[in-house]
Amino acid sequence: MQLRIISPTKNIFEGEVQRVLLPGAKAPFVVLRGHAPLISSLEAGRIDYTLPSGEQESIEVSGGFVEVKDNTIVVCTE
C-alpha cells in the first residue's frame, strides 16, 4: 500500500506501508491493503503507520482529510 502525507507547503511522507491508523472525525480507524474506497475528515491527533520492515512510525497532525483508493492513501494536513 502506498501512503502519502502532504501539507500545502511540503511532502511530509511518501512510501510503502502495511497498515495505517488514522484519527477519523468520528473515531480512529485502520486502513489495510484492499480497504474500500473512502474520503474522510481527520481530527487533530496521531497517524501511526507500519513500514514493510515492521517498524512503526507516527506523525502528529492538526486535522485534515484522507482519501483511500486502490491501495493508495493520501492524507492532506496542515
What CATH number did the domain enclosing 43 receive?
2.60.15.10
Q: Which of 8, 11, 10, 61 is nearest to 20 (CA)?
A: 61
The predicted pLDDT at position 78 comes to 82
The share of the chain scoring above pLDDT 70, in percent, equals: 100
Residue 66 has pLDDT above 90, yes or no: yes
pLDDT tens digits, residue range 50-63?
Answer: 999 999 999 999 99
Q: What is the mean pLDDT of residues 36-48?
A: 96
Residue 3 neighbours by CB under 8 Å, 6+ apart: 13, 14, 15, 16, 17, 20, 49, 73, 75
**pTM of the model as a whole:** 0.93
pLDDT tens digits, residue range 2-40?
Answer: 999 999 999 999 999 999 999 999 999 999 999 999 999
Helix or strand or coil: residue 23? coil
Count of structural domains, the chain: 1
Domain residue limits at 44: 2-77
